[in-house]
Amino acid sequence: MTKLCIKNGLVYARGEFVKGTVLTENGKITGITEADVFPTDCTVIDAEGGYVVPGFIDLHTHGADGVDVNAASWEELEKIGCFFATQGTTSWLGSVLTDTREQTLWCIQEHLKYRENSHKGADMMGIHLEGPFLAPAYKGAMPEHLLKTGDARLLAQYQEAAKGNVCYLTVSPEVDGVIEMIPACRELGIVTAIGHSGADYDTAMGAVRAGAQAATHTFNAMKLLHQHFPAIMGAVLESDVYCEAICDGRHLHPAVVRLLLKTKGWDKVVAVTDSIMAAGLPDGDYMLGVNEVTVKDGDACLKSSGVRAGSTLTTHQALLNLMEFTGEPLEKVLPLLTENPARLIGRYDRIGSIAPGKDADIVILNQECEVKTVFVKGSICQEL
């Protein structure tokens, strides 16, 4: 693969921007240097005074650009990844909405086909199962007749079929058998998040003690905090779990985003899009799994009930929104889209920061924080 020298940029490293040049070889970062002398056999990329930052990571997305993850062939998964690259995303998990066992296994097989081929866009690094072990009362867009009680054997079948590529699972703590299933998730290499839940505080904390590490789209589709009954909301705010946040200005008011960051700390909040196939497209009618969805003014809602159903958010817009909501600079906000999701999913040794030995997943932003160039494993996959 080509050696790269990305020069004349402000490089985000160790929590701050430094003037320097990023060197890559064979898809890996080999160093950051202040020297102006580069290897003669490298391709020089001029960042022109822009920001050189780690690629964005989206752990919770159901699709984009007209493609729904639940119905996507491996070629269509590639289409999603190519769109995501235009937004600065370099790694993502495909979120499979609760579906039949047969359709879930089909989604898994399409992901494996995807992994067998080369790619031009963001890397779909694995699968997120949102369900089926969820509470009917907080089902959101989940088809109620397909929800199940905790079933470690079924999950093990999914993971075996996926050859270990199920990375992330959303469960409701109050559902029978779920808390008992969480240690099995860890043994299977799956990070567990709690959500879609009306669990009381003690039950939710029981899930945390059992090994749950995150909360799915915090504040949304979960019982909220009451001073006498803290519920799942109180448990995820008090404990050390990571909290997903959909920062589109619809799912969370900007003040709630600021409150979440103040309560949890900036190192425990993970920005996700929860995007659907409508992301990147105009208002209209779309699908989310088996659900018909209408998007109006960029807001996605179920046709049947008007309940909000995912988002049309992108990671790049989430970045801009977070800067606007908090008034904080780029370097303060970046970890929510890079380091934090990488740490949650156990991939920080490979992605999430610009450091020697890591994948060369790099985004060049101009001074207005617009995405200009995107590299996935050292290859240019987007250049604007």
Closest CA to 16 of 271, 270, 329, 315: 329
Identity of the amino acid at 176: D
Report the greatest alpha carbon distance in the chain: 67
225: Cα separation from own chain's centroid: 25
Burial of 353 (0-12, 13-18, 19+ CB in 10 A): buried
Question: Regarding beta strands 42-46 and 63-64, do their DSSP bridges make them parallel or antiparallel, or are they unpaired?
Answer: unpaired
Q: State the Cα–Cα distance between residues 289 and 68, nearest whole angstrom.
A: 7
CB 149 within 8 A of CB 177: yes
CB 110 within 8 A of CB 74: yes
CB 258 within 8 A of CB 322: no
Active-site residue, selected from the candidate residues 68, 274, 359, 361? 274
Q: Per the structure block, which two tokens stand in for 48?
A: 């022109």
Whether residue 274 lies in the annotated active site: yes
CB 289 within 8 A of CB 143: yes
3-state helix, strand, coil split of the chain in percent (to 5) is 30, 30, 40
Active-site amino acid positions: 274
